[in-house]
Amino acid sequence: MDNKKDIFDIFIIGGGINGVAIARDAAGRGMSVILAEKGDLASETSSKSTNLIHGGLRYLEYFDFKLVRNALQEREVLLQNMPHIAKQLRLILPISPDMRFESETPAGRLLGIFMPWLKGKRPGWIIRIGLWLYDHLGGNSKFPSTTSIKLQNTKEGNPLKSKYKKAYEYSDGWVHDARMVVLMASDAVKRGAKILTRNKVESLQRENSVWKIDTEQGRFYAKSIVNASGPWVEKIMCQTTNQKSKVHVRLVRGSHIITKKLFDHEKAYLLQGSDCRIIFAIPYEREFTLIGTTEVPHENADIEPECSNQEIEYLCKFASDYFEANIAPDDVIMTFSGVRPLYDDGAKSSTAATRDYLLNLNNDGAPILNVFGGKITTHRILAEEVLNKLSKYLTIGASWTKFSPLPGGEFKLTERETHFARLLADYPFLNETWAQRLFCSYGLDAWKVLGNACNIDDLGENFGADLTAREIDYLRANEFAKTSEDILWRRSQLGLRINKKAAQSIDIYMKIEK
């Protein structure tokens, strides 16, 4: 495209959660929107999370009540709007007398003044106060409240070392992070947005009141730009547009390890370390446990993040301090790492750095808005705030996303089992595990994936783990999938079960013109 008559309202850089949320919201308000992503959707930070939609319990120690309240309220909205790919999750927080506050937190300093005998310790009663706040800060919640449990001879306590006698059990949410991004992008397209993956932005230039944007797939013009490129936000802002700013991004690598299943129930664990950090141990893909995350400074966004041997050892030791089973590096099946683009608020450590976002607007001519930071949980309200800021320059309709489900999620959470039973009845050749995967990925759109199939043969070649040609065709046509990696590691987590040879067969199949 090189027709200046075709001027988009907004050009968005970045196909992670924030960029796609902005594209969907803007398209739903009747705006002309185009989004460019240099790789696949959610191929960086937004597919490398701990899969939690949560308020951030530990942020209470920093007295960041606004962030926690907003995130807790959004937790409710997200579960309502994506009941197929999100769910409530109960977490077990074992209590240990050795747990300590990080000394630089406001809560730690305050207790040091008024209760010096604690010497930085984080006793159970302080944790209970924090959990009470967590239960109530977001207002009336549909999530179950905190309870206290004794761990001896319970399914929650059996995997833990015997020294842990008591725990608190509280609620948060789980979501398939990359599928959330992809479904949001699919909905944005249905509402008129243009989503271009594998399309790196090469240059940006203001021409009077319009931006000229050159990309690998052509030239585009737009009245405004939103730079939601995550780890690259500052680089694009400073180098591509020659802007100078006092706002900076802080790159932090978060690494996770995956092991065989460590416990036989569907609750997760929040574990407190002697270094004042926390990690999670979460049930993962039926047969595995996800453990993470680390927080390590990452110097350059262009360097692919990888979980180091030191991080693997750290997570193994951290988890082994709690679980009866000793977890060694040899027990790690795989690792993954993502770079979190935190807004640099000048905090001394990565742990203390804010998880809130900052929107930096430059209006020296056609406006460009740069997104620093943010959390998966708060992507929707971030998108609304972005559009509110751009409303000074563009005609923008009313907000609408709070009560609008993602594709496949047009049902109430209480109806989930009914729809799942109907899926099994309509396609009796599915086994329960296969049907569960399809429903938890596509929701009501599972019927679109399976179509008029009457038996397994109607679905075409099975590439392993019940991934069929019919499903691959659907993902190519509706979910921007172009390679086996897109399908096996972002549209699903079937890469844990499908070998490299099968992945090569998928790539060969996907090159066949349809």
- pTM score, whole prediction: 0.95
The residues of the chain scoring below 50 in pLDDT are: 1, 117
- Three-state SS across 210-227? EEEEEECCEEEEEEEEEE
Q: What is the pLDDT of residues 64-96, one digit of tens each?
A: 899 999 999 999 999 999 999 999 999 999 998
Q: What is the pLDDT of residue 68?
A: 94
Q: What is the pLDDT of residue 107?
A: 66
Q: What is the pLDDT of residue 124?
A: 79
Handedness of CA 454, 457, 458, 462 (dihedral sign): positive
Q: What is the pLDDT of residues 420-461, one digit of tens each?
A: 999 999 999 999 999 999 999 999 999 999 999 999 999 999
Contact 11, 222 (CB under 8 A): yes
Strand pairing report for 33-36 and 7-13: parallel
Rounded Cα–Cα distance for residues 199 and 204 (Å)? 14
Q: What is the pLDDT of residue 476?
A: 97
Rounded Cα–Cα distance for residues 63 and 474 (Å)? 46
Contact 207, 51 (CB under 8 A): no
CA angle 27, 31, 33 (to 5 degrees): 65
| Domains detected in the chain | 7-45+178-248+354-403 (3.50.50.60), 56-174+250-343 (3.30.9.10), 413-510 (1.10.8.870)
The DSSP code for 428 is T
Q: What b-and-e string marks burial along 147-163, b requiring 16 or more CB atoms within 10 Å of the CB? A: eeeebeeeebbebbeee
Rg (CA), the chain: 23
Query: Which tokens go with 315?
Result: 């997570």
Q: What is the pLDDT of residue 350?
A: 73
Residue 113 CA, chain-centre distance (Å), reads 38
Rounded Cα–Cα distance for residues 43 and 32 (Å)? 25
Q: Choose among 112, 137, 168, 125: nearest CA to 60.
A: 137
- Where are the extended beta strands (E) located within 122-238? 147-150, 166-175, 194-196, 201-207, 210-215, 218-227
Q: What is the pLDDT of residue 101?
A: 57
